[in-house]
Homo-oligomer: A and B are copies of this chain.
Amino acid sequence: MTTLRDRRDDPADPDERRRLSRRSFLGGGVAGLAAGALAGGLGGAAIAHARADEDAPADVSETAVPFYDQTHQGGIATPPQRYVVFASYDLTTTDAGDLQVLLARWSASIAQLQAGRNLGTVEPSRPSGVPTDTGEAADLGPNALTVTLGLGPGVFDDRFGLARHRPARFDHLPELPSDRLDPKLTGGDLSLQACAEDPQVAYHAIRDLSRLARGTAVVRWTVMGFGRASAGKGQTTPRNLMGFKDGTRNIKTDADLDQFVWHDGTDQAWMQGGTYQVARKIQMNIENWDADQIGDQHAVFGRTKQEGAPLSGTQEFDTPDFARKDASGELVIPATSHVALAAHENNGGLKILRRSYNFTDGMDEYGQINAGLLFIAYMNDPAAFVTMQTKLGRSDRLNEYISHVGSGVFAVPPAPATGHYVAEPLFG
């Protein structure tokens, strides 16, 4: 077969066609404008303002991120949007054709959503019609939505005949020292990471894409993040729910992205320009942390709290001096601090791209506020995460205050060309 397209891209009913666009002035021109104006890669360049021709102040709700004809999928090097809804899915089919159709429909739909359009019609003209879009984002702009599609290791098991496409280094994560994984929050054959500047836009994307998947895949676990906790290039560093800045040393250059994040296609050409995604739901023991002394909090992170400076320096972006000792001969940045254990200087130069979000789930069974970090990271070799987390899980002083309760690893193919879909080469 050639190219699958969502039939609802071209509704027969003129009323439906009129209603197709969530914002009529955006129309089909947005994706094109954006694609034309942009080079791929990091930084502000990865986001276009749909109304750039007007001199009104930039309205983030009208920002659209192009989907087709990019080197990489959005939501990876795209400067982190404020909100996320992440979902992992189990395939309920064993037919490779069903999987192919789902990937094609999802791709066409993600392109619509990122352009700020509904997925079909909110209000069919016949009373017996069932809306193809659930409508809760109908009045909202694209809000820089990106939906990043990943394939779990299960896609390459014996169900679909795709084992020959499995990258050699891609498999389920091994058990790690800090794991307290809940099976209900772990694994998944597919993942969707929807990031947007409006959480209702991200929620709508996951809801309607889940709906499209019925009969082929079901949601296994999902997390809504209410605030970004990692910084990208040009962004000020946000804070996690322990009150510390997160992402000060995150990857912020194209050179680092090329070296540590983007897959070069050796071993499996279809992954060229792709990457791997690791998602971890990390529960924080908030109330114990809140009772901890500031001196211990400093030692746990290896940084000050307000400024976020390494304990060896005074400013957030000072390079940590891991060798410096105080008058009594103790390391100023403890070797078991989070910054020391995770630093590329202490890991043979290893870096990963983090894209984490804060979450809360209400009260836990013990009457404490249930909250934590949805840790999402991208890297061109999943072993990078395993290496770092093995070390962190064994020694990190932070372990007293956190538990890794959910986990998943996914291969993220590059973005498709117009008219094609994510992972299409698997079905060639």
Chain A residues near B (Cβ < 8 Å) = 19, 57, 83, 85, 122-124, 126-131, 133-139, 198-200, 203, 207, 210-211, 218-224, 226-227, 236, 238-244, 286-287, 290-298, 304-306, 358, 360-363, 367, 369, 371
Q: Quick check: A131 and B243 within 8 Å, CB to CB?
A: yes
Task: Write out the residue numbers on chain B whose beta carbons fall within 8 Å of the beta carbon of A129.
Answer: 293-295
A294-B367 contact, Cβ under 8 Å, with A200-B227, A240-B136, A358-B200? no
Task: Write out the residue numbers on chain B whose beta carbons fall within 8 Å of the beta carbon of A226.
Answer: 83, 199-200, 203, 224, 226
Task: Write out the residue numbers on chain B whose beta carbons fall within 8 Å of the beta carbon of A128.
Answer: 293-295
Q: Quick check: B131 and A358 within 8 Å, CB to CB?
A: no
Task: Write out the residue numbers on chain B whose beta carbons fall within 8 Å of the beta carbon of A369.
Answer: 207, 210, 219, 222
Shortest Cβ distance from A370 into B: residue: B222
Task: Write out the residue numbers on chain B whose beta carbons fall within 8 Å of the beta carbon of A139.
Answer: 236, 238-239
Task: Write out the residue numbers on chain B whose beta carbons fall within 8 Å of the beta carbon of A305.
Answer: 122-123, 131, 135
Q: Quick check: B361 and A122 within 8 Å, CB to CB?
A: no
Q: Given the complex of chains A and B, what is the CA–CA distance between A2 and B137 in angstroms?
A: 51
Supply 9 A–B pairs (Cβ within 8 Å), ascending by A.
A122-B243, A127-B293, A127-B294, A130-B291, A200-B358, A220-B363, A224-B360, A226-B226, A361-B361
Q: Quick check: B367 and A218 within 8 Å, CB to CB?
A: yes
Task: Write out the residue numbers on chain B whose beta carbons fall within 8 Å of the beta carbon of A57.
Answer: 57
Q: Quick check: A241 and B136 within 8 Å, CB to CB?
A: yes
Task: Write out the residue numbers on chain B whose beta carbons fall within 8 Å of the beta carbon of A126.
Answer: 294-295
Q: Quick check: B221 and A363 within 8 Å, CB to CB?
A: yes
Q: How many copies does the complex hold?
A: 2
Task: Write out the residue numbers on chain B whose beta carbons fall within 8 Å of the beta carbon of A199.
Answer: 199, 226-227
Q: Given the complex of chains A and B, what is the CA–CA distance between A318 and B238 in angstroms?
A: 45
Task: Write out the residue numbers on chain B whose beta carbons fall within 8 Å of the beta carbon of A296.
Answer: 127
Q: Given the complex of chains A and B, what is the CA–CA distance between A348 and B238 in angstroms?
A: 51
Task: Write out the residue numbers on chain B whose beta carbons fall within 8 Å of the beta carbon of A198.
Answer: 227
Contact partner of A306 (CB less than 8 A), chosen from B138, B240, B295, is B138
Shortest Cβ distance from A18 into B: residue: B306
A362-B200 contact, Cβ under 8 Å, with A134-B243, A135-B244, A292-B130? no
Task: Write out the residue numbers on chain B whose beta carbons fall within 8 Å of the beta carbon of A219.
Answer: 363, 367, 369
Q: Given the complex of chains A and B, what is the CA–CA distance between A295 and B227 in angstroms?
A: 38
Q: Quick check: B298 and A239 within 8 Å, CB to CB?
A: no
Closest chain-B Cβ to A211's Cβ sits at a distance in Å of 6
A362-B293 contact, Cβ under 8 Å, with A122-B305, A198-B227, A227-B198? no
Shortest Cβ distance from A85 into B: residue: B360
Give the top 5 A-B pairs by smallest Cβ distance, nearest first.
A135-B243, A127-B295, A200-B227, A199-B226, A123-B305
Q: Given the complex of chains A and B, what is the CA–CA distance between A220 and B122 in angstroms?
A: 38
Closest chain-B Cβ to A86's Cβ sits at a distance in Å of 10
Closest chain-B Cβ to A291's Cβ sits at a distance in Å of 6
Contact partner of A362 (CB less than 8 A), chosen from B130, B137, B224, B243, is B224
Contact partner of A294 (CB less than 8 A), chosen from B123, B240, B287, B358, is B123
Closest chain-B Cβ to A53's Cβ sits at a distance in Å of 19
Q: Given the complex of chains A and B, what is the CA–CA distance between A23 and B18 in angstroms?
A: 47
Task: Write out the residue numbers on chain B whose beta carbons fall within 8 Å of the beta carbon of A122.
Answer: 243, 305-306
Task: Write out the residue numbers on chain B whose beta carbons fall within 8 Å of the beta carbon of A294.
Answer: 123-124, 126-131
Q: Given the complex of chains A and B, what is the CA–CA distance between A244 and B298 in angstroms?
A: 48
Q: Quick check: A243 and B138 within 8 Å, CB to CB?
A: yes
